[in-house]
Structure 1
Amino acid sequence: MKKIILSTIMAGALALSVNAQEFNKFSLEVGGGFNKPMAPLNRAYLSPTLNLGHIEFGARYMFNEKFGLKLDYGFGSVREAQGNDSQSLPFNTKYFRLNMQGVANIGRIMNFESFTRKFGLLLHGGAGIGMVNPEENQFNDFDDNVYTFIFGITPQVKLSERIALVGDISTVLNGRQTVTWDGAEFIYPDISNGFYGANGTWWSGTLGLNFYLGKAEQHADWFIAADKYATKEELATQINGIKDMLKDSDGDGVPDYLDKEPSTPVGARVNSAGMTLDSDGDGTPDHMDKCPFQPGPASTNGCPAAVEAVAEVDYLKKAINDGYVNVYYAFDSSKPLGYSVSAANYVSNFLKKNPGVSVEVKGYADELGPEDYNIKLSEARAKAVYDLLIASGVDASRLSYKGYGEDTSVDKSSADARQMARRASFEVK
């Protein structure tokens, strides 16, 4: 029971800790590197495998640790492949693009934290506008306005809580591109045909930095909601506080934070709230009452006058048979709750004082769960008390036990009533 309570309280404390956390959502991005126009190019012009000449800037906002938006601007120029063995005619074309893109943090979506907390991965894609502006050949200074689609992947390396090193590889499709990248000819003989379709294709590869903005400790790129721990010192303080709550100072089986009477004497019989029981209501608590089920004055230790003592056996038998003496259990358990074990001790004492009687232990379960399972559970509960009585010195020939399954006499919608149903009762034969 204590383990269950401890786990529940710790889970709640950690959940509150997580919910209290916030993360930064804004970042600025800068990068530079290579580009390569793929198509279209005139046959006499060749582009280099890697052309150094691309720069980009961006601003990003994350709605949460998994998804966001970014606006970025990229520009640069492309030239012909150079070198002694190059067979390309010269060209020089400038370009720019402006795109709005959706961003997915694959590192959080795929739980990279299970194997690394330094490396991340973003996917991005979107659309925008751009321009291709040849500066040489037939269409030099022609402003070729295009629309663009962009898709890319961005690996990340966390350098600090404020900066990350990033690489990016993006493919860009230019729509309505009219002239070739080299500026030497129209894509189509009829210029109007170039107003349809994604006619231009190119890609860029960059290396750069992300700068994280905000007052929180972490940015959404690296925030792990399910793993946002308190510090070791804070967690140790919380656990120690919980342990203090679960102490049972008087040893009655009820932890202090639930115990309404935390200083009951050793051996006292208590209820689920830790309060001393007085079964016969005579003012003498059961642990001091020599006749706990017969009212009597304190002068006779709770027992009635001598003339009435002869009825004790019948009175105790009636109290036991009428269900005033029970051992209780937690849900789905056949281990008696500590505070109720003393009921078995009273039955044991009764049997020892009255060697001519025998007792049947009757096990019950609440109505939760399958009926056949509850039959087995109720029998296991009866058997547990049967074993306690034998261990206390009662001869097995005077005892029997049976599981009676579900107690349908209680309100199964009430948690308190279901607790009363999870019991072992006794019947004196």
Structure 2
Amino acid sequence: MKQLKLFTMLSLALSFPVLTAQENTEVVVVNSEPISLDQQEWENNYYGMNQNYVNFTSEQKKFKDWTLAIYAGVPMVQGSDLNSSVSGEGMKWGYDLQAVLTKQITHAFGLGLQFNYGKAGLQTPALGGYEGDVQYRVLSLIGDINFSNLLRRVDNKSRYAWALHGYGGLATFGYDTNISPKNNQRINKKTGTNMGSGSLGIVGGGGLRYKINQSIDAELKAMYYYTGDEEFDGSTSVPGLSEVNERKEDGMFVFNLGLIWKIGKHYEHLAWADPLADIYPGHSPQDLQDMLVVCAQGDKDDDGVCDDWDRELDTPAGARVDGAGRALDTDLDGIIDLYDKCVTLAGPAENDGCPTNADSESLLNFAIANLEFTLDSDVISPSYYPLLDRAAEYLKYYKDNTYDVIGHTDARASKAYNMNLSQRRAEAVKSYLVEKGGVNANQLNVVAMGEEDLRFPECKPASKCPEWKNHANRRVVFVLK
């Protein structure tokens, strides 16, 4: 009876794909008339598409396709004459260890070889009560269907980290069962069998898998093992015990938690791959991983800029650099900041990058060379503040020097008016340098020059010149005392 049931289930399982495939089968009618072609012409016409065929190698694979999983959990014999859990009797615990090697064939289907080793507790109140355990070994060939990949939406771009798997396949059982009466533990009844074709069964179940990272997954799995006999629970070793529930054939639930290692050198495993990823715009995860490889040539000068785009490969140790790997020279005096004692003030190398005293007047006037005033005004435009800030740095560096701050006007208006206006302009510059720039007030002496000593002398009267020259005459200069 057992063999007949198993044969019937196997026949249905094997014939199902064939029956479903017939619905979509195309019938191709081949012309039966003889064709007079020589061998070479025949091959060119009918096998030409295969002439350039190249064998697919592992180097061409884009995904990992092997996994090794280790599980641990608890078994529970249920639906048998002796069960692990009996109402009013409690639970007899056991253990289950699993190892599964799986080959992923498509993104939604894999084929695995699974081995179970464990022990399940047994008990029954029938015939005065019996208890014991079954130590089992199970070898299974299991198909793995990834339902989440099958049902995955094309427009779902969220992180794909959870997957629902379904399992089913054939198993061969080996076991040793020991049971004893509860009131006489010294009486021991034993049954058992070895794995092989004579102890075949069916296994099925499901699992919820979580992607921890590109190398490891975790899974919570529940499986049912159908043995197809009444010997697994040992009830046949006690006369009359197997007839208590005559139609029951032994089975076992197993609940496991495990880790899955994805084997291979590629970035992603096929079970987590999106089969439509290649039609999405942008780069694949593997392409992005390759693009993120930086510093392929290293960083020989250890300045934090890869040699791939470092424009100065011998930067001195400790020097600050810009994005191109060149040592910074803030004041652009040709001396890098590492060796420059005056980082913000330009100066010659013989003076350690600091300006000399002889150049102080020219440097101050160069700093404010573009500072000019609008017509009939002593108000400094905010656009000139950076020029005065630069002048203040020089003045604080030359703190032992004193300077005349000389105001000028153009040739419009009277001499007396222009003298007053130039005085106000010089005072405005001094006031900014002292109040905003932190310069010592005693270092500066205000002098009014009026319309004398014009930058463009030909602009007297002002009507002789274009306005830009008159504008340039409205200025302030420094003179070292």
Report the TM range for the smaller structure's normalisation. Answer: 0.3 to 0.5
The TM-score normalised by the length of structure 1 is: 0.42
Which structure: larger Rg? 2
